[in-house]
């Protein structure tokens, strides 16, 4: 469990009115958004695939993932994300689309708390919560951002190419 402390460095990003924190060890790079090709059958929070450094990787919309904009059955037209954060997910990579990349920061011990049991199932990708500068802080678990169904669809599209 991520708790905050001297050795816990995070990349902080703005996602709507919230702050998302990603463990720095999971971050490959930040970049301007790249063109996205839709991926059939993907969840609404997966925008599609982008070619990053020559490889197709899934692009996850952080706002929709956290339930802000894409929570209705008829998804509204969203503005383009301002930044991509490329993440390493074991042997794979994905990009998280965010509104802004803010800073790298060490979070003081006690800043983060465990997810209450009732919220743990609902959020899935959030490993801890807290407050930072009077805003809700959500620590995202990078390894859980892209569902297995998306990886399976990517593998199928590679096999048929």
Q: Per-domain residue ranges for the chain? A: 9-160
Pairing of strands 92-98, 55-61: parallel
Residues 23 and 2 sit within 8 Å (Cβ to Cβ): yes
Among 57-61, 79-83, 94-98, where is mean pLDDT lowest?
79-83
Residue 77 has pLDDT above 60, yes or no: no
List pLDDT tens digits, range 85-131: 999 998 999 999 999 999 999 987 677 776 555 454 445 788 888 88
- The C-alpha atoms of residue 4 and residue 140 are separated, in whole angstroms, by 13
Are residues 10 and 20 in contact, defined by beta-carbon separation less than 8 angstroms?
no
Residue 130 vs residues 35, 78, 82, 98: alpha-carbon distances, Å: 33, 27, 24, 19
Collapse the DSSP code of 112 into the 3-class scheme (helix H, G, I; strand E, B; otherwise coil) and give the result: strand
* pLDDT tens, residue by residue, 41-54: 889 999 999 999 99
Q: What is the pLDDT of residue 8?
A: 80
Fold of 9-160: OB fold (Dihydrolipoamide Acetyltransferase, E2P) (2.40.50)
Average pLDDT, the chain: 82
Write down the pLDDT at residue 53. Answer: 92
Intra-chain end-to-end CA distance of the chain, in Å: 40
Give percent above pLDDT 70 in the chain.
78
pLDDT of residue 74: 43
Rounded distance between C-alpha atoms, residue 147 and residue 132, angstroms: 28
């Amino acid at each position: 469990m991520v708790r905050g402390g001297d050795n816990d460095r995070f990349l902080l990003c703005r996602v709507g009115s919230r702050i998302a924190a990603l463990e720095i060890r999971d971050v490959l790079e930040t970049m301007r958004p790249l063109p996205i090709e839709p991926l059939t059958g993907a969840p609404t929070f997966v925008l599609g695939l982008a070619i990053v450094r020559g490889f197709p990787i899934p692009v996850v919309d952080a706002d929709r993932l956290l339930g802000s904009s894409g929570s209705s059955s008829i998804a509204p037209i969203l503005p383009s994300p301002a930044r991509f954060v490329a993440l390493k997910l074991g042997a794979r990579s994905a990009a998280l689309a965010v509104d802004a990349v803010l800073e790298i920061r060490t979070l003081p011990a006690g800043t983060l708390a465990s997810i209450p049991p009732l919220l743990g199932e609902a959020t899935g990708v959030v490993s801890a919560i807290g407050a930072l500068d009077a805003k809700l802080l959500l620590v995202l678990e990078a390894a859980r951002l892209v569902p297995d169904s998306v990886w399976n669809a990517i593998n199928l599209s590679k096999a048929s190419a």
